[in-house]
C-alpha cells in the first residue's frame, strides 16, 4: 500500500509555457517513474508518463482470433468513409 501511495504522489506540475521551454530537463525524472501533470493556467489538462521499455519478443500473431474467433469483413469495410465522418475526424462540424 505504501509503495502505491508513493508511486502516485511523485509528480511534477508544469504549465504549458514552462514545459515548452524546459521539457528536456524533466525527461530523466520521467524515466525514473515520476509523472508530469501538464496544466493550462494552473488547470490540469494532461498527464505525461514514461513508456514501458520496448518489447523484446515479437508480438504474437492471431490475438484477435483467440478472443473473437474467425470473422469476415464485408466489402463495404474497405470503401471510403462518407465526407461528414471524415470531416469530424479533422475537427470540422457540418
Instruction: Write down the domain spans for the chain.
Output: 2-51+62-89
- Predicted pLDDT at 10: 66
C-alpha cell at 70: 474467425
What pLDDT does 3 receive?
44
- Mean pLDDT to the nearest integer, 59-81: 78
Please determine, for residue 72, whether its predicted confidence score (pLDDT) is greater than 90.
Answer: no
**93 vs 23, higher pLDDT:** 23
Amino acid at each position: 500500500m505504501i509503495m502505491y501511495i508513493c508511486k502516485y504522489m511523485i509528480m511534477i506540475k508544469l504549465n504549458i509555457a514552462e514545459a515548452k521551454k524546459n521539457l528536456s530537463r524533466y525527461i530523466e525524472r520521467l524515466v525514473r517513474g515520476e509523472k508530469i501533470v501538464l496544466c493550462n493556467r494552473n488547470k490540469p489538462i494532461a498527464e505525461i508518463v514514461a513508456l514501458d521499455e520496448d518489447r523484446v519478443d515479437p508480438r504474437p500473431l492471431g490475438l484477435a482470433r483467440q478472443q473473437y474467433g474467425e470473422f469476415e469483413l464485408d466489402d463495404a469495410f474497405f470503401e471510403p468513409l462518407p465526407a461528414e465522418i471524415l470531416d469530424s475526424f479533422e475537427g470540422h462540424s457540418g
